[in-house]
Structure 1
Amino acid sequence: MTAEATEAALAREGGLPGGDTSRSERPLRIALLSYKGNPFCGGQGVYVRHLSRELARLGHSVEVIGAQPYPVLDEGVTLTELPSLDLYRQPDPFRMPKPAEYRDWVDALEVATMATGGFPEPLTFSLRARRHLAARRGRFDVVHDNQTLGYGLLGGPLALGAPLVTTIHHPITVDRQLDLDAAADWKRRASVHRWYGFVRMQKRVARRLPSVLTVSGSSRDEIVDDLGVPAERIHVVPIGADTDLFSPDPSVAEVPGRIVTTSSADVPLKGLVHLVEALATVRATNPGAHLVVVGKRAENGPVATAIARHGLGDAIRFVKGVSDAELVDLVRSAQVACVPSLYEGFSLPAAEAMATGTPLVATTGGAIPEVAGPDGETCLAVPPGDAGALAAGLTRLLGDADLRHRLGTAGRARVLARFTWRQAAIGTADHYREAVARYGAAGAARRRAGIR
């Protein structure tokens, strides 16, 4: 059935939910679910913040329903807190809660899963969200799940009170495999398997979802191959940079030798250890080269070991908890931005750096080439996991001001043309309306058949 035919059928049957037959114009009431929403550490929090803001600017009513760490939201977006036990909070991660903290069986499940080495939050948040949405049936036109993929979200509109659209940034199976490949022994491999036990649930849930959004063609292919979701249910809606915030500013002084990167965690996926190895090589010919990492410094692990081995303690600085303005100025001050990841489902750091006009060295892992563009035109592209190639690209850019200017200018133009949050919000809202139309058509069919 075409969109026009669906709309006409709904009009004959009494309209869309809410009684409005104008599908293309009526603002939507959106519940956006976020089981983990820190906007300064990890792409999911960034996604929730910027997408919700742009949806609100388009005139929609957006309510983010989230757990700790709660997302930071912009004006016009409502936050409803749906608290977990916050078992991984700093400075006491993997804490055991006091008896008075337990509220119900979901809390007990959360603690039991953590105590056996698993990660409970996708499941337990989904169960709490289902209960919360059921109690508010009729308040939303659409529910948008940001990669929770928990059992609690199954059951369709009858269970949640509205049709469901789900974003899968990339399958967590990729992270799991990279962590397994990096495991030093069988004990570590067993620990990785326990931690990623929720992936089995996410596979089962994903295969039953009616509408999946993802952020790149690479992620779409991975979702089909790793999660078994039929390709026709997956729709690519690229995300992007806040191009008003991430913009060039000639008044910010460029710091000679500065390389900036973002690494939200010391995990193999982010490839930071390869960038550390590359920096050691770069400094052999450019002693002033230094690295600023937006993220938390790990006190031990492969990155800390590499820093100590190469004596780079004074050449690498970690920063965290910076404001948006401080982050943008930090990127602007760099001569080179780098994305060393082994895999990315999209790569917001690449888009944001390019939006400032900072030239980029990036790997070809996952969807990064879809964002960064062709080697030598909008970036310098290198193979993932190759410290030597990273070093060569960094050395080349640090030594060539004309190349830096050309790549920086072309990179910003690419982001403006393809990757903005307004474009992402428009594309996402189109899929919301399709989900609402399918829901209305299915309800009309049930009424015609006499099914309640």
Structure 2
Amino acid sequence: MRIALNARILQAPRTGIGQYLVELIEALRDDPQIELELFHGWGWSQLVPQAALPGYSRWATLAKHVPWAYQIRRALDQHRFDRGAGQRRIDLYHEPSLWPLDFSGPMVMTLHDLTHVHYPQTQPRDRLAEIERRIGPALERAGCILTDSQFIADEICQYYGVAAERVKVAPLGYAPRFHPRQPEQLRGCLAELGLEPGGYLLCVGTLEPRKNLVQALRAHALLPETLRKRFPLLIAGMAGWRSDCFAAELQAALASGHVRLLGYQSDQMLAELLAGARLLLFPSLYEGFGLPVLEAMASGVPVLLSAQSALPEVAGPAGVYLEAGDDRGWCEAIIRLVEDEAEWQRHRTMGLQQAQQFSWKRCATITTAAYRQALEH
């Protein structure tokens, strides 16, 4: 099978969907029956870009000020895609996110979540209009629809009226760089940040309201002074939509000296930060999967999280679940897991066991089955 994968998203700094695409590509390449052709927007290649495209941020800024920017870029993409797909004799097209390009042959699309439905205000107005205009017809013509969790599969069926047999759940996996590490393996890289292994709490996620990072700030602020000093809160992630809405609380927390904003981290640094954390705090209100939760468990780090959307499917019995808005409950759970070594070890062990249920090989196997289903459609 010669598969065209739309890899344009790899032009941007890699967050969840970018990581999904990179890992899926590597896993699919282990199948001798799959030949991948990657469309990057400007052209085609069989190589995965090693970093975000220089100037990508300029496009994002330009799109805010140029009328019909998304439509213009899409028309250019469509022209280049058509020309390359014809030359490469593509058997099937896989769109890994939201709105597929036009293709006369079989098509599979991955729909990771319905953020555009539940949080439409997080999308630029022009982009949201394009999503709303195109996603319905795209779902109709897709031979198979992939998603990361049963929760999102059910949402797709209920909201868009898609038949359940057309949706396949392909849970994500974790990369080999996410694994437990001994303290001596981490001291060098963490020393550059003035950190000790096991001596900090970590949040991973874009700074935007849906991620609910303010919950972690408030819970941490309620800790006794000695614990706040002993376990500072680190936030790894780039600024996103409406991060200004909790800017005052964030600035106050940063001024206290017990909270640090690390910004966007490289893949390797994030893996080391996770492995060195005492806990991952993941209070997100809506996730199609929640990749940092799985990566933390695979690294031997217990996770405190909200029992929202798809998160219980990922963390299973290993997660410490708390209600959104329960600042005191989050605070008490942190205290319990930093002070009670036996409880920490119990959740660490359960997390390592839970993580073994997920792999990119399994995700690729289900994806390949979706390709075959679409080809027979």
TM range (shorter): 0.7 to 0.9
Q: One-letter code of the match for 1:249?
A: R
Change (3 A) 1:256 1:207: same
Matches of 1:236 and 1:49, distance apart in 2: 18
In structure 2, the partner of 1:255 is 197
Match of 1:435 in 2: 374
User: For residues 223 and 72 of structure 2, what CA distance do their matches in structure 1 show?
Assistant: 41
The number of residue pairs the alignment matches comes to: 361
CA contact (8 A) 2:236 2:263 kept: yes
Matched, 1:359 2:359: no
Question: 2:68: which partner in 1?
Answer: 113
> Which residue among 81, 87, 92 is the counterpart of 1:136?
87
Q: Find the residue that maps to 1:207 and give its secondary structure.
A: helix
Counterpart Cα distance in 2 of 1:364 and 1:64? 36
Q: CA, structure 1 residues 123+333, in 2 after alignment: closer, same or farther (shift >3 Å)?
A: same
Query: Paired residue for 1:315, among 246, 258, 261?
Result: 258
* TM-aligned CA deviation for residue 351 of structure 1: 0.5
After TM superposition, the structure 1 = structure 2 runs for residues 358-437 of structure 1, keeping only pairs within 5 Å, are 358-374=301-317, 378-416=318-356, 418-437=357-376
Listed as ranges, the matches of 1:50-449 within 5 Å are: 50-59=23-32, 60-67=34-41, 77-79=46-48, 89-90=56-57, 93-95=60-62, 111-114=66-69, 123-124=74-75, 127-128=78-79, 130-136=81-87, 138=89, 140-150=90-100, 152-153=101-102, 156-157=104-105, 163-177=106-120, 179=121, 196-201=128-133, 202-242=135-175, 244-250=176-182, 251=184, 252=186, 255-264=197-206, 266-284=207-225, 286-288=227-229, 289-297=231-239, 301-310=244-253, 312=255, 314-374=257-317, 378-416=318-356, 418-438=357-377
Q: Which moved more, 1:364-373 or 1:291-300?
A: 291-300
Q: What SS does the corresponding residue of 1:36 show, helix, strand or coil? A: helix
Contact 1:276 1:303 in 2 (8 A): no
* Distance in 2 between residues matched to 1:35 and 1:209, nearest whole Å: 19
Partner-residue secondary structure (3-state), 2:119: helix
Deviation of 1:200 (Å): 1.2
Residue identity in the other structure for 1:29: R
Q: Residue 64 of structure 1: SS of its match in structure 2? A: strand
**In 2 relative to 1, CA 94–125 (structure 1 residues): closer, same or farther, beyond 3 Å?**
same
Whole-angstrom CA distance in 1 between matches of 2:98 and 2:109: 8
Cross-structure match for 2:3:
30
Secondary structure of 1:331's aligned partner: helix
Measure the CA separation in 2 of the matches of 1:120 and 1:408: 48
SS in 1 for 2:95: strand
* SS in structure 2 of the partner of residue 206 of structure 1: helix
Change over 3 Å in CA distance of 1:361–1:80 after alignment to 2 = closer
TM-score normalized by structure 1? 0.71
- Give 1:257 deviation, angstroms: 4.3
Change (3 A) 1:198 1:290: farther
Regions of 4+ moved over 4 Å: 119-126, 191-195, 297-300, 310-313
Contact 1:122–1:148 (CA under 8 A) maintained in structure 2:
no
| Counterpart-to-counterpart distance in 2, 1:367 and 1:318 | 27
Distance 2:178 2:139 in 1: 34
RCO higher in structure (CA 8 A, sep ≥6): 2
2:181 maps to a residue whose letter is D
- CA displacement 1:169-196 (0-9 Å, x = unmatched): 112334525x48xxxxxxxxxx965552
| Alpha-carbon spacing, 1:67–1:230, altered in 2? closer, same or farther (3 Å) | same
Displacement of 1:327: 1.7
Determine the C-alpha separation between the residues in 1 that align with 2:177 and 2:164.
35
Describe the SS at the equivalent of 1:144: strand
Q: Residue type matched to 2:130 in 1?
A: F
- The normalised TM-score by structure 2 is 0.83
Give the letter for the 2:303 counterpart. Answer: L
1:126/1:149 contact within 8 Å kept: no
Answer yes or no: is the 8 Å Cα contact 1:360–1:380 preserved in 2. Answer: yes
Instruction: String of CA shifts for 1:183-224, please: whole Å, max 9, x gaps.
Output: xxxxxxxx9655522331223422332210111011111212
**% same residue:** 25
The CA RMSD measured in Å over matched residues stands at 3.3
Instruction: Give the distance between the partners of 1:129 and 1:229, measured in 2 at CA.
Output: 31
Q: For the Cα contact (< 8 Å) 1:207–1:228, is it kept in 2?
A: no
Q: Which runs of 5+ in 2 are unaligned?
A: 188-195
Matched letter for residue 52 of structure 1: I
Asked if 2 retains the 8 angstrom alpha-carbon contact of 1:278 and 1:388, the reply is: yes
